[in-house]
Chain A
Amino acid sequence: MKHMTRKATRHISQNEGLIFEKSSSGKAAWKLPPLDVPEVDTAKLLGSSERKDLGNMPEVSEIEIIRHFTRLSTWNYAIDLGMYPLGSCTMKYNPRVNEVVTRLDGLANGHPYQPEKISQGALRILKTLSECLIEITGMDAITLQPAAGAQGELTGLLLVRGYLQSKGNPREKILIPDSAHGTNPATAATVGYAVENLKSNDRGMVDVAALASQMNEDVAALMLTNPNTLGIFEQEIHRIAEILHAKGGLLYMDGANMNALVGKARPGDFGVDLMHLNLHKTFSTPHGGGGPGSGPVAVKQMLEPFLPKPVVITKADGTLGFDYNRPLSVGRVRAFYGNFGMFTRALAYILANGPDGLRQTTEDAVLNANYIRKGLEGVYDLPYSTPSMHEVVFSDKIQAKKGVRTMDLAKRLIDYGFHPYTTAFPLIVPGALMIEPTESEPKEELDLFIEAMRSIAEEVEEDPQMVLNAPHNTRVSRLDEVAAARKPVLRWKPTSS
C-alpha cells in the first residue's frame, strides 16, 4: 500500500469457532448450591409437559466462555478504540460511572412491582430525569416509557391521534420530509396514518412553500428532524410551526440530532409540540452493539393527559408514586416503566455535565463537525453548502467517476483504523457520506481522520481497484450479503458445521 496509516497497525487476533463447536458432554461452567427443600419427582409434577432434552445447547467450561467472548470482542471496532463517526448515531463516549451506578444493588435488583414505599429511590430517579429532560427540551411533560427512538415516534403519533381525536377528528396523513429516517414513515404506517412526502429545497431544508400548499385539515402532523439528517438547522422552523398550527396540525420533532442543540436552543421554544429523545445518542447510554435504546417523549401541556400510563406523581404525604388513573391516556407501549437502566445512565451523564458541561458538549460537537467539513471540502463533493451543525454530509460524486462509491470508501477507511461514517443516507444525497464526529474526539483524532480521508481520495485517483478491494487488513473482507439473503443460514446446526 502506498499510503501508510498513522492511526493503526496490523496485529494478530485470535481465531475462534462457534461455541457449539467447543462443546463436549460433561464440561460445565455452573454449580448450583445444595437444595434446601425436598427433591421433586419432575415426571410426577409435570407429566407430559416435562422436557427431556435441550437439543444442541453447549457444554463448556468457564475459561472457555471467557476466552470465547473475549476473542469475539477483539473483532469489533468500538468507541473505546477510536472515532466512530456514524452520522445520526451520535457515537459519543459512554462514561463508566454510568455503569457503576446502574449496578448498585437496590437499583439493579429492584423489582418493578415492589411496593412504592420501598421504590422511592427508583421513583426519584424517574422524576429527576424527567425534570431535567423537560428543561433541556423546553417542553411541559414527558413519558420515559418508550423502549427506543422508534417506539418514541410511535408513542408520539399515538399522542397526536389521541389529542386530535379529542378535538373531533384524528385526521389521515403525516407529512414527512424526504430526508427523514426510515423509522418515521414506518412508524406512521404502523399507527395507521398515510404518509405524504415533503420535498426539500435546494438548500437542504424543508420547502416552506411546498409545505404551505400541502398542509390542510387532513394532515395530523409533520415529523421533522431538526437539525435534519443533512446536519442542517431548519432556519424557518418558526414559519413551519405556524403553517402547521394554523391548520390545526402538530409539529413532531425527531430528536435524533439533539446533540446539536442541548444547552443552546430548546425545541419547546421554537414551536415544537412534541418530540422524542434518544438517550443512547444524546445522553451517552451505551449502544451495546445495537441496543438497548430508550426513547422518552416530551410534550407540550395540551398533550399531557394523553401520555402512556402510569405517570409519576407526588402524593399528598410527599412521597412519590405511580398514577394509573389516566382516562385519556393512549395506553401502555411497553410493560413496566421503560428501560430504567438507561435512565440511571442518562441521569448520571446529566449530573456529570451540569448546565455548563452540556453547553460545552454541544459546542464541541458542532465545532468538530465543522472542522471535518473544512478539512474535506473540495476533496469530497459537498452537495449542500448550507452551514453544518453537528454532522456533515458529503457525496461520492467525485470518486464515483473512477467507479468508487461511498461504501467502497467506507471499507477503505476501515484499513486506516476508523469505523466508517454512515453510508448512502440520507436518501436525498446519492452516494452520501454522513459524518458525525461528536464532541468526544480530540483534535488529534480528527486530524488523523481528515488525513485518512484525503489519502483515500488520492488512492482513488491512483489505484481505484485497490480501494474497491478494501478492506485489506481485516479478518474477513467483503462478506457475501447476497448469498446470505438468498439462502438464509440463521442458526448453527450440527450438520452445517
Chain B
Amino acid sequence: MRYLPKSKADRQAMLKNIGARSIDDLFAPIPAEYRLQADLDIPRQMAESEIVDWFRHRSRENGDGYTSFLGAGAYYHYRPVIIDSLISRGEFLTAYTPYQAEVSQGTLQSIFEFQTMVSELTGMEVANASMYDGSTASTEAVMMAARLTGRRSAVVARSLHPEYREVLNTYAGQQALILITVGFGENGRLDLKQLEKSITPETGCVLIQSPNFFGTIEDIAAIAEITHTHGALLVVAISEAVALGIVEPPRQADIVAMEAQSFGVPLGFGGPYCGVIATREQFVRQMPGRLVGQTIDKSGKRGFVLTLATREQHIRREKATSNICTNQALVALMANIFMTVYGKVGLRELAKQNLAKTAYAAAQFGRHAPVLFSVAPRFNEFVVQTQEDPYVINSRLLGHKIVGGLPLRKFFPELGNAALWCCTEITTRSAIDTAVGMLAESEAGEPAAEAEEVAR
C-alpha cells in the first residue's frame, strides 16, 4: 500500500523488538470471535489514475458545465486562485488545532486576523474562530442568547433559511426551548406587528436573517428597537456574506451568526462551509467555539494563543457552553484570504456588481412575471412568481444547460409557483437574457411543444 512507509523487513524487526511473534499477537486483546477473518467487502485497491478517473466520471454526472441561478444559502462567487495555492501548503493543510502555540503561530495569527475582519464586517466587537456552518451557528447563537438572558423562548423569522430553521428545531426540541415563528409581510420583510405581539417576557431572543431567505434586506433598526424594548437579544443570521460589502451590517444586533461560504469557499454540494458567531465583548464568555487571543511570550514578543478555553468541552465537560470541538480552520483560512484579497475597496465593488446584475435580472424578469417583494431593498436574490410550475420551466432551462431558480413550494407552499433566483458577479447578461426569454415564452402561453420529463 503506497501510503505505508514500511518494508517487510522493517515490520519484522519491529515485531522482534517488541517481542511479538506475529502481528496477530498485538490484536490478541480483541476477543477471537470478533476478529475479522475475511476481507472487508469494499472495492479493491485502486491505482491513483483509476481513482481520478472514477471521480472524473462522477464530476461529469454532476452538473459540470451548467450555468446556475441558484443561491438560497449557497452562493457561486469567483474564487481567487491564490486561495487554493495557499491553503494547499502542507503547514496549513496538515496541521491540527493549535494547542501547542509555539509551533502553531501561523494558524493562530491567521485566525486572529479572521476574527478581526469578521468583527469589522459584521459591525460586532468580537468574533470566534469559526463553527460548522450558518445553520449550526444560528442555532448555537439562540442557545447562547438563552444562557445570557435565562429565558427559554425564542422568536424566529419564517424568512430565516428553512434548513436553518429545521436545525434549530432539532436542537430546541432537546433543550426545552420554545420557538415562536413570525411571518413576513407583503414587502417580504419581517411582519413587525406580528413580532410585537409574539414577544413575551420569556423571549430570550429574536432570530432573523438579513438579507433574508428571499434576498430582502430587513429593517434592522426597527426590529432591534422592538426586541430590545422587551429585554430580548437580537440575533441576525447572514447567509450571503458578500452582502456586507454594500449593505449596512446589523450593528444593533447582539449576536451575528454568519455563513462565510461566499468568501471563497467552493459550493461543494453543500459543505464544508464556514459558520461564525460575532457578538459584543460583554457576551464573549457565553460564546461557543474556539477563540484566539493576543498575548506575549516569556521574552515579551507578541504571539497568539487559544484562549477562554474554560468555556469549552475539554475543560468543562457537561458544563461547557457547547459540545462543539472542531472549528472550520481550513475553510476559515479560505474566507480569510478572500477577505484579504478584496479588502476594504474590492469587497464593496464586488457587492456592487452583485447588486447591479440582480437589479438588471429582476427588471427583465419583471417584464414577464411578477417579481415579489419589490418595494423593499434586496441584495442578490429575488422571487419570481410564474403562472407555470417553476419545475416545468426549470426542466426546459436544463435542456439549455441552465439551472433555474429554486422553486419555493417545498418550503413555502403559500407562495405557489414562486421561485428564488440569484445573480452574482459571475452571472452573465446573456445567461440572464436567455433565461428571461424562455420564461417569457412560457408565461405568454407558448411553451415548447414537447412535454419533457420534469426534473425535481
Contact = CB atoms under 8 A, between A and B. Distances in A.
Given A111-B403, A117-B398, A286-B330, A57 B347 contact: yes
A453 interface: no
Contact of B39 (A37, A355, A471): A355
A209 interface: no
Contact of A112 (B13, B48, B270, B293): B270
Contact of A30 (B50, B249, B291, B346): B346
A55 B112 CA distance: 17
Interface stretch (B72-80, B151-159, B381-389, B439-447): B72-80
A19 B163 contact: no
Contacts of B87: 288
Interface string B243-261: 0111111000000000000
Interface in A270-327: 270, 280, 286-294, 308, 321
Contacts of A9: none
B97 A154 contact: no
B254 to A, nearest CB: 17
A104 B208 CA distance: 35
A74 B346 contact: no
A84 B99 CA distance: 12
B85 to A, nearest CB: 7
Interface in B254-308: 266-272, 284, 290-299, 301, 303-305, 307-308
A291 B130 contact: yes
A483 B268 CA distance: 40
B93 A183 contact: no
Interface in B71-129: 72-74, 76, 80, 82, 84-107, 109-113, 115-117, 119-121, 125-127, 129
A496 B302 CA distance: 12
A414 to B, nearest CB: 6
Contacts of A201: none
Given A29-B341, A192-B176, A489-B293, A42 B352 contact: yes
Interface in A73-125: 73-81, 84, 86, 89, 91, 93-95, 97, 99-122, 124-125
Nearest to B29: A233
B195 interface: no
Given A116-B456, A135-B42, A189 B356 contact: no
B448 interface: no
Given A20-B113, A364-B6, A78 B90 contact: yes
A140 interface: no
B198 interface: no
Contacts of A248: none
Contacts of B40: 135-136, 263, 355, 358-359
A106 to B, nearest CB: 3
Interface stretch (A210-218, A393-401, A454-462, A474-482): A474-482
Contacts of B360: 37-38
Contacts of A280: 326
Given A265-B36, A485-B308, A492 B42 contact: no
A182 B10 CA distance: 37
Contacts of A136: 40, 42
Which of B34, B39, B74, B394 is most buried by chain A, counting CB atoms within 10 A of its CB? B34
A443 B14 contact: yes
A150 to B, nearest CB: 4
Interface in B42-89: 42-46, 48, 50-52, 54-66, 68, 70, 72-74, 76, 80, 82, 84-89
A117 B455 contact: yes
A47 B313 CA distance: 44
A72 B109 contact: yes
A148 B290 CA distance: 15
Interface in A373-398: 373-375, 386-387, 389
A93 B3 contact: yes
A contact residues, range = 35 or more
B335 to A, nearest CB: 12
Interface stretch (B178-186, B224-232, B315-323, B365-373): B315-323
Contact of A65 (B34, B284, B341): B341
Given A121-B58, A192-B174, A51 B348 contact: yes
Which of B19, B62, B90, B93 is most buried by chain A, counting CB atoms within 10 A of its CB? B62
B345 interface: yes
Given A190-B322, A338-B270, A411-B102, A290 B313 contact: no
Contacts, number: 689
Contact of A335 (B35, B133, B318): B133
A17 to B, nearest CB: 9
Contacts of B98: 76, 289-290
A430 interface: no
B327 interface: yes
Contacts of B192: none
Contacts of B46: 351-352, 354
A66 interface: yes
A195 B320 CA distance: 13
A177 interface: no
A118 B403 contact: yes
A44 to B, nearest CB: 10
Contact of B59 (A91, A107, A235, A485): A107
B270 A77 contact: no
Contact of A186 (B70, B320, B356): B320
A386 B307 CA distance: 36
B35 A264 contact: yes
A79 B58 contact: no
A255 interface: no
A121 B57 contact: yes
Which of B93, B291, B310 is most buried by chain A, counting CB atoms within 10 A of its CB? B93
A404 interface: no
Nearest to B169: A331
A408 interface: no
Contact of A45 (B15, B117, B353, B377): B377
B213 to A, nearest CB: 12
Interface in A28-45: 28-30, 32-33, 35-40, 42, 45
Contacts of A110: 62-63, 267-269
A455 to B, nearest CB: 19
A190 B174 contact: yes
Contacts of A97: 48, 51-52
16 contacts: A54-B244, A57-B339, A73-B86, A107-B62, A109-B267, A118-B62, A147-B271, A150-B323, A186-B313, A291-B272, A354-B43, A355-B40, A371-B14, A371-B17, A373-B18, A481-B295
By Cβ-Cβ distance, the 9 closest A-B pairs, closest first, are A288-B330, A336-B270, A354-B45, A80-B90, A106-B64, A121-B62, A106-B59, A112-B270, A121-B58
